[in-house]
Structure 1
Amino acid sequence: MPDAARSLLQEPRPVTVLPGVGPKLAERLARLGIYTAEDVLLHLPLRYQDRSRITPISGLVAGAEAQIEGEIVGSEVTERGRRFLLCTLRDLTGELTLRFFHFSPAQRQLFGQVGARLRCFGEVRQGYTSLEMIHPECRRLDGDSPPVSDQLTPVYPSTADLQQFTLRALTDQALILLDTAALLPEWLPPALRLQLQLMSVAEAVGFLHRPPSDAPVAELDSGRHPARRRLAFEELLAHQLSLRQLRERVRQQAAPPLLGDGGLSQRFLERLPFALTGAQQRVLAEIAADLTQPRPMQRLLQGDVGSGKTVVAAAAALRAVESGGQAVLMAPTELLAEQHYRNFQDWLGGLGVEIAWLTGRLLGRARKALLERLASGAVQVAVGTHALFQESVVFADLALAIVDEQHRFGVHQRLALRDKGRQGQRCPHQLIMTATPIPRTLAMSAYADLDTSVLDELPPGRRPVKTVAVPDHRREEVIERIRQACRGGRQAYWVCPLIEESEVLECQAAAVTAERLTAILPELRVGLVHGRQSAADKETVMATFKAGGLDLLVATTVIEVGVDVANASLMIVENAERLGLAQLHQLRGRVGRGATNSSCVLLYRPPLSQIAYARLSTLRECNDGFEIARRDLELRGPGEVLGTRQTGGQSLRVADLLRDQDLLNAARYAADRLLRDHPDCVEPLIRRWIGVGARYGEV
C-alpha cells in the first residue's frame, strides 16, 4: 500500500462534520447505524427510481412509477368520509389527479395556485374516475423547466422523521469528501484487485449512490451489479480477517497438552454396548490430535439429531481426566444438562471418574460442598447449565470445556466458560457442539475462527422417521393413531407451541390440550411438560415418561433438544406451520431413537402460506439435517438461520451470505494474501466494516 494512502488512515469522522447535521439529525441517523461520514457512504440505496425523463400523462400506466410535468387546473379539500386534498394536473396530453391524505397549510396553498406548473414523481394508480398519484414528490417550476436528472434517483433505507431528500443531500456532501478528502481510502492492493477484477472502492461507492440513467436497474436492485459485489466482497473479507485474527489470538495462547496413556478412553469404548460409527472414530481422532497440542483446541462439532455427539464428548472428557485435568460440559437447559449427567454417570461412573451436576437450583451446603470439590480437583467432570460460569465456580485445573447446543449461548458466554480455566496465559481446550447443522457456506463465514468436524453418519439400526402433514380437521384420526400406538406398547409426544390460549395465534394451549386428550383417551396415562413448571416438576414428569410410567407426553417446545426416550415412536406437532424447519427437525428427532419404525405427524391449520408449505414439504421429503439446513437457508436467509447470538451480534451491511456465497472462496484467498503480504491493510478494513465489534469473540 503506498505511503500516501497509508497516511490517510485516521479516526472516523463523525457525521456532524457534514453541513447541516446537528444533534437531532445525528440522533435519527444513529437509528440507521450511521455514526460517521464513512457510514453515510456505506448506507446503500434499497432501490432506484428513473427520473431521467418526463412521461406524458396520456402515456402513464397504472402500477408504474413515473415523472410528469403539468399545470394546476383545480384543487379542493374534500370531507367525504375522510379528509384529503385533491389537485388536478394537466399537460398537453391529458389530466391526472394528485391525492394527499396528510397535508400542511403550505401544501394546500401551493396546490391551490391555479396556473402554477409542477414536476411530480410517484406511483400511478387507477382512481375512481382517472389515474392518480397519491402523495407524490412535487416541486414547483418557475420559468423554464430545469433539465431532468441524468442519473437514477436512489431510495435509501430510512426511519421516522428522516426524508429521502435529506439522505440524498447528506450523500451528496459525503461524495464530495470522497473525491476531495479520500473519505474511503483504498485498502486492497492493486495486484489483488487486478487479479480479482475488482473496481476501486471509491468508484463502486460513487456508482451505487449516483448511477447514470442508463445503468441496469434490475442488476442494481438485485445486488448483482459489479459495484455492489465489490463492496460485498470487501465486507466479507473484513469479517474473514476479524475471525482469523481471533483464531490467531487464541492459537497464540498456551493450553495444557493432554498426553494421557489412553487407558481410560479405551476402557470406556470397550464398555459401550454399541460400536462407534466411522464418523465418530474419525472425529475422535481429530479431537485427540488437537488435544495433544500446546495451543487451545477450538473445534466445532456438527452432528445431526442422533448422530452420537454425546459419546464423542464423553470420550474427549476422558482425555482431560487421563492427563490429570478436569472437563466441563455446559448445556442450555437443566433438562438437557441432567440427561448428559445421567449418560456420563452410566458410562464413566464405573471407570472411577467422579462426576458432578451443577445447576442454579443447587443451594446451601450441597452447593458449597460441590464447589469445594470442584476447586480441589476431586470432581473430575462437571456437567451443568450457565451456572457453571458464575463467579463462585472455581476449577482446580480445567483442561477441556465442552459447550452443547452452542447456538443457545452467546459467543461471550462460551468464552466466559473457557476463561474459567485460565491460569496465567494458559487456557483450556474447547469443543463446541451443535445438533443444528449449519450449511457449509455459513459455517465457513460465521465460524472461520473454529476448526469443524462433522458427524455425517447415523448409528446402525437408526431408521428414518416417516413424516406426514395433516390438516387439523383430521385431528380425530391423529388421536386414534396415538391410541393404537400406545396399545402396542409404544409412547408418543404431542407438542404445542404455546402454554396459554391466544385468540391472536389460535394455538392450542399445552395445558388445555392435555386435559382434552386425557378426556378423549381415558385409558392412557397423559403427562404435561412446559416452560413455566418448576425444574423439579419437569424433571419428575420426564423421568416418569422415560421410565414408561406415561403413555403420552404433551409438551411445549421445551422438549426440542436432548430428550432421549427410545420407546417413543410417534411425534405429533401442533400448528406445525408456525415453526421453523430447524425446530421441526429437532422435534422430529425425539422419536426414531429405538429399533421400531417411528412417525412424525405435522398437524397444520390451513390455508398454508407459500413458505409454510415449503417447510412442511421439506420435512416430508427429507431426513438429512444438512439438506434441511440448506433449504432453511434458502427460505429464511442467513440472518435467521444463524441468529445474532450465534455470530456474536455481527450483521452484514452490504453482503448477503446467500446471494454472495460465491465470493467466499475469493474472500478467504484474499484474507490469506493480506495477512501474509499486506498486514498493514488488515486493521483499516476491519475498522471500516466492523468497527468496535471486531473483537466480539474475546471477553
Structure 2
Amino acid sequence: LLAQTPMVRLVQGDVGSGKTLVAAAAALDAIENDYQVALMAPTELLAEQHYHTFRDWFEPLGLSVAWITGKLTAKQRRRQVENLLLGITHIAIGTHALFQDSIEFQQLGLIIIDEQHRFGVQQRLRLREKGRQGERYPHQLVMTATPIPRTLAMTHYADMDYSIIDELPPGRKPVKTVALANERREEVITRIHQACLQQQRQAYWVCTLIEESESLQCEAAEDTWQTLQAALPDLQIGLVHGRQHYDEKEQMMHAFKQGELHVLVATTVIEVGVDVPNASLMVIENAERLGLAQLHQLRGRVGRGDAASSCVLLYQPPLSKTSRKRLETLRKTNDGFQIAQVDLALRGAGELLGTKQTGDMRLKVADWVRDQHLLPHVQQAADKLMCDHPDVPLRLINRWMRNVETLISV
C-alpha cells in the first residue's frame, strides 16, 4: 500500500485463517489517507455478513459503512449513492451491485474482492475503473480460500503479487473427518441428537445433488428437513436454500447464529463465509459427488470455536476410485494446500482453476502436475527476459498464444 504504483495482491488463506482481518487492516490504512474502500463479495449472504462484521469494527471508530444491495428501496439507494459521491461513506460493501453505473465514489483508493474466482476479469476491471483518477488506479486486494497449489497460483495469477496465510488462529482445533456409507444414516442422526442436547452444540446438514438444477437441490433439502423433524421432534431444525426469499433466508441464518436452532439443513449456499462458532458438527450428504475444494470449503464452516468439531461425509456406495481418493484425502488432512495438491493431480490445472473451456491451460509438451517444480524457475526466467530483452516476450506471445489481444488487455 505504501508503493507508488497500485497494489494488485492475491491473499490466499485457508478457511478461517483470518483473511477478513487482513482486509480490515488494509481498509483502515486507505481510509486514514482519505480514500474510500469497496469490498465485493460473491453472494448476498456473505456480503451482509461482511457488512455486520465491518460495521461492528468500524462504527465505534466513527467510520461510516454502507451495504449496497439490489434490495434497497429507491430512496435508500439514492441516499447511499449521494453519501458515496460526497465522501460521507468510508467503505461500501456489496455484490455485483457495486459496479453498476449509478454507483460512483468520491475517491476510491482500495478495492477488496472476496472469493475472486467467482468474479470474471471484466467485472474486476469495471470496479477498478470507478476509482480511476487520470492514469492512477486504486489498489486491489484479492482474497481466496479456494486452495490452489502455490506454484500453480504463481503462474495463473502472474499479474498479482502473492501472499499466503498458512496458519490458523491460536486455539483452533483441526476438524475430525469421517466417511460413512449411507446405511449408517440413523447412527449419524443419533449423534446429532446427543451433540445438540447433551453438549449444547449446533449442527449443519448439507444437501447436495449431482445435477446443477437448483430446484432439485432445494427439493432434496426440504425432504431432508422434514425427515429430520420427524426423527428429532425435540430439536429446533431450520432450512436454508437458494430459492427462499432473501428475508426468509436471513431470518433463518440469524436464528441459527443466535442459537435458537439446533440444526440447520442447507444446500451448498452456506459454502462460503458463514461463521457460527458454536456449530461443531457438519453432515454432508452425497459427499462423493462434490469436488475436493468444495468439500473443504463446506467443512470450513465448523471448527471456528474452541470445541472439538467433526465432519461426517455420507456417501452412496460403491465409490469410484477418484471419489475414494477425495474422501480419503479429507479424512487425512485439514491442510488446504495439501488438498489442493491432490486436487491438481486428480483433476488437472484447467478444471482446478476454472479455465478448462478457454483452452488457456492446454499445453503441448509441458505437464502442470509433472513439471510444477519448474514453475518458480520459469517465473524467474520470464522476469529476466522482460528486463533484459523487453521486445522478445511480445514476439513469443504472438508466436505461441491465441487470444493475444484479450490476454494483453487483462
Q: Report the TM-score when normalising by structure 2.
A: 0.94
From 60, 66, 87, the counterpart of 1:350 = 60
Q: Residue 201 of structure 1 aligns with which residue?
A: none
SS in 1 for 2:233: coil
**Per-residue CA shift, 1:205-251, capped at 9, x if unaligned?**
xxxxxxxxxxxxxxxxxxxxxxxxxxxxxxxxxxxxxxxxxxxxxxx
Query: Is this contact kept in 2: 1:566–1:594, CA < 8 A?
Result: yes
Residues 1:454 and 1:369: Cα distance change in structure 2 (over 3 Å): same
* Aligned sequence identity (%): 63
Describe the superposition over 1:475-530 as per-residue Cα deviations: whole angstroms up to 9, x where unpaired.
0000001101110211000001149999xx99981111001111111111111111
* Counterparts of 2:218 and 2:184, CA distance in 1: 16
> Which residue does the alignment assign to 2:148?
438
The whole-number CA distance in structure 2 between the counterparts of 1:697 and 1:676 is 18
Q: Secondary structure of the equivalent of 1:569?
A: strand
Counterparts of residues 652-663 of structure 1 (less than 5 Å): 652-654=362-364, 655-663=366-374
Q: Contact 1:359/1:384 (CA < 8 Å) preserved in 2?
A: yes
Choose the corresponding residue for 2:74, options 364, 368, 375. Answer: 364
Q: Cα distance, 1:666 vs. partner?
A: 4.3
Q: What is residue 577 of structure 1 aligned with on the other side? A: 288
Pick from 533, 543, 550 the counterpart of residue 254 of structure 2.
543
**Aligned-partner residue type, residue 362 of structure 1:** L
State the partner residue of 2:304: 593
Matching residue's letter, 1:434: T
Q: Please, which of 118, 121, 128 is the counterpart of residue 411 of structure 1?
A: 121
1:512–1:402 Cα change, 3 Å: same
Q: Which runs of structure 2 are paired with 1:445-456 in the superposition (5 Å)?
A: 445-456=155-166
Structure 1 window deviating more from structure 2 (634-643 vs 505-514): it is 505-514
What is the match of residue 671 of structure 1?
382
Q: Which amino acid aligns with 2:150?
A: R
Aligned partners of 1:563 and 1:648: how far apart in 2?
31
Larger mean CA deviation between 358-367 and 371-380 belongs to 358-367
CA deviation after TM superposition for structure 1 residue 689, in Å: 2.6
Q: Which has the higher contact order (CA 8 A, sep 6+)?
A: 2
8 Å Cα contact 2:208/2:217 also seen in 1: no
Q: Does 1:466 find its partner at 2:176?
A: yes
Structure 2 residue identity aligned to 1:472: N
Q: Which runs of 5+ in 2 are unaligned?
A: none
Q: How has the CA–CA distance of structure 1 residues 541 and 649 changed in structure 2, closer, same or farther, with 3 Å as cutoff?
A: farther
* Cα distance between partner residues in 2 of 1:642 and 1:373: 38
Report how far residue 672 of structure 1 moved: 2.9
Q: 1:697 to 1:530 in 2, by over 3 A?
A: farther
Shift of 1:607: 0.4
CA distance in 2, matches of 1:420, 1:433: 20
Match of 2:282, SS?
strand
Match of 1:531 in 2: 242
Partner of 2:278: 567
| Residues in 2 aligned to 1:638 and 1:495: alpha-carbon distance in whole angstroms | 27
Question: Do the aligned partners of residues 669 and 594 (structure 1) sit closer, same or farther apart at CA in structure 2, a change above 3 Å counting?
Answer: closer
Cα distance change, pair 385–580 in 1 and its aligned pair in 2 (3 A): same
TM-score, normalised to structure 1, is: 0.56
Match of residue 99, structure 2, among 385, 389, 392:
389
CA distance in structure 2 between the partners assigned to 1:396 and 1:299 by the alignment: 23
| Deviation (angstroms), 1:648 | 8.3
Matches within 5 A, 1:135-146: none
Q: Which of residues 336, 345, 352 in structure 2 aligns to 1:625?
A: 336
User: Which residue identity is paired with 2:339?
Assistant: I
SS at match of 2:319: coil
CA contact (8 A) 2:282 2:299 kept: yes
Residue range with higher mean Cα deviation, 412-421 or 684-693: 684-693
1:477 aligns with 2:184: no
Cα RMSD (Å): 2.2
- The CA distance in 2 between the partners of 1:438 and 1:697, in whole Å, is 24
Deviation at 1:658, TM superposition (A): 1.6
Q: Give yes or no for contact 2:218–2:243 (8 Å, CA) kept in 1.
A: no
For residues 645-682 of structure 1, what are the alpha-carbon distances to aligned partners after superposition, in whole Å with 9 as ceiling and x for unaligned? Answer: 9x987333424322332442443243234323333322
Aligned position for 2:401: 690
Separation of aligned partners in 1, 2:71 and 2:218? 31
Question: 1:517–1:389: structure 2 CA closer, same or farther, 3 Å change rule?
Answer: same
Paired residue for 1:497?
208
Any idea what SS the aligned residue of 1:679 has? coil
